[in-house]
Structure 1
Amino acid sequence: MNNNLVLAVNEHDEEFVLFGKGIGFKKKKNDLVDKSLITKTFLSKDNQNMVAIIESIQPDVLDVTEKIVTYGEGQLNKKLNGSLMIALADHIQCAIDRQKQGIDLPENTMQWEIPFLYSKEHELGKYSLEQIKTELEISLPSSEAAFMALHFVNAQDGVESMDETIFITKILKSIVKSIQTLFNVSLKKDSLNYSRFVTHIRYFMNRHLHNKVQESNENEKLFDIIKEQYPKSYACSLVIKEMLNSDYNIDVSNDELIYLIIHIERVVSDTQALE
């Protein structure tokens, strides 16, 4: 595709996009790739046809997306799912195409909620827009930052699809609303405990969506201690438990409530300490 990006297949005919400085220099179809030059490997999800996807994305869009992903991994301090680059590049290309055609997406309430629910990822969404403007000389609408943020959320959780990420985001919004209403606070979104709380909810929901919940009654004594020590956070956890059960048919065990209570207590305490 260019000097730094190549579309390649392995011995099992699996398709990858490989990034590395000079990896595509003077290369032509069917040449072998120098593995020592590979710095990043990206793949498609669900056995999608990589050739068809790549053909619809301009090489310079892929190039800037790789830089965005690398920066994102540094900011989040974690290795992101290998499918992120293709998904994000495809999103960016579609956004560019829509703008050239004068097509505006209808306003979505999600774009106003994401900066609060996922503050770090939203900052990466804004960084993405800055890089696109700098590298490609294209100014995309600021609302795109929220939707790009969801790609970074999705790449961290190991969920199956963007639909699952949006579903989890909807539930997270309901949980945050319950906490803020009961404690009459606006949670401090840039605190470490808030970040841990959001991560806990995402992994908690991921386990439920994929039936990876293990029931146990080994912590009943700890549960009794926690609910007595933090009565208001316990009451809040019961409200959330009832909401999840009635609205989403999700059962929350006492073991799971223990961690939820502790996270509620910490994230609320952070906020109240500043008031």
Structure 2
Amino acid sequence: MVKVIKSLNNNIVLAETEKNKEVIIFGTGIGFKKKKGDLVNASLAKKTFYPEKSIQASQLLEQISAEVLTVTEEIIVFGEELLKRKLNQSILFSLSDHLQFAINRDQNKNYEDNPLQWEIPTLYNEEYKVGKGALKIIENRLGHILPKIEASFIALHFVNAQIDGHSLGDTMEIMKVIKKIIKIIQRLFDINLDKTTINYSRFITHLRYFIARHKMNKSYAMDMDKSFREIIQEKYKKSYNCCLVIKEMLENEYNWGISNDEIIYLTIHIERIVRENK
């Protein structure tokens, strides 16, 4: 059971758990006639969202309408279905805050530029599809036609929600590193990678977690068989040499220590996407 702090509408409740943590609960009729102090059975919720420790949900929600929260929850469900994965629960708070701001900005016709907006559709193709779908949901539910640039902003929220413990700023930094790695691959192999393939999407996901680990100073816990490592080095020489160039860039620019096993796994991914493009 959770204790109601505020009923936002018939289907959304801001509540407090037994451990005094704020939580937002979505469920049909779950907020009907509920007032502060009432108890609600959390098991009846369709969806439950917990904020990050640094977020005071009650204060944030003072700036966000119940309609925007409802649409945000619908977009999150849509995104999880398209991406086929569960997202960090805190996305409700960051995304609804962004959407409320975007709608207010749209009413004033005051649009903001995103310096990485042209990179997002190619680096994060699936998340960008979520962003485009979100714009349609917002138009259908709220009547606001937001500029296409917002699809890129929304996509970044979904990228960020797939990596625990990262801020949107961290996600932007990860994106910049990925861009540098892609440039090295395309230059050395003299190709333009097809950004719409499954293998490319898998490669970007691999890079995302690879970079996130190093940003968080987490070691790669894998003891690869030496003979397997030698086979990969010999069989995929050009991809392996490409990885050595990437390794040198990461060590020089970011002071990251890249293990031999990480290089081998990166080699396999690069070999796969290069073969696909040739």
User: Scaled by the length of structure 1, what TM-score is found?
Assistant: 0.94
| Equivalence for 1:269 | 275
CA RMSD of aligned residues (A): 1.4
Displacement of 1:45 in angstroms is 1.4
Matches within 5 A, 1:1-275: 1-105=8-112, 107-214=113-220, 218-272=224-278
Displacement of 1:214 in angstroms is 3.8
Native 8 Å contact 2:121 2:128 kept in 1: yes
Native 8 Å contact 1:220 1:254 kept in 2: no
In structure 2, distance between residues paired with 1:7 and 1:252: 45
In structure 2, distance between residues paired with 1:226 and 1:132: 48
42-51 vs 125-134, greater mean Cα deviation: 42-51
In structure 2, distance between residues paired with 1:122 and 1:10: 35
Q: Report the CA distance shift for 1:161/1:187 in structure 2 as closer, same or farther (over 3 A).
A: same
Q: Report the CA distance shift for 1:217/1:51 in structure 2 as closer, same or farther (over 3 A).
A: closer
246-255 vs 139-148, greater mean Cα deviation: 246-255
Cα deviation, 1:136-187, whole Å, max 9, x if unaligned, reads 0011111011011011011112142111111111101111111111112221
Secondary structure at the aligned position of 1:74 is classed as helix
96-105 vs 76-85, greater mean Cα deviation: 96-105
In structure 1, distance between residues paired with 2:109 and 2:66: 23
In structure 1, distance between residues paired with 2:106 and 2:220: 47
Native 8 Å contact 1:125 1:144 kept in 2: yes
Displacement of 1:217 in angstroms is 6.3
Cα deviation, 1:230-274, whole Å, max 9, x if unaligned, reads 0110111111111111121112111100100000001111111xx
Which ranges of structure 2 fall in alignment gaps of 5 or more residues?
1-7
Identity among equivalent positions (%) equals 49
Displacement of 1:102 in angstroms is 3.1
Q: Report the CA distance shift for 1:217/1:26 in structure 2 as closer, same or farther (over 3 A).
A: closer
Native 8 Å contact 2:131 2:155 kept in 1: yes
Which amino acid is the alignment partner of residue 17 of structure 2? N
User: Scaled by the length of structure 2, what TM-score is found?
Assistant: 0.93
Cα deviation, 1:91-115, whole Å, max 9, x if unaligned, reads 100111122233221x333000000
Cα deviation, 1:32-65, whole Å, max 9, x if unaligned, reads 1122321211121133211110110011000001
How many residue pairs get aligned? The number is 271
Which ranges of structure 1 fall in alignment gaps of 5 or more residues?
none
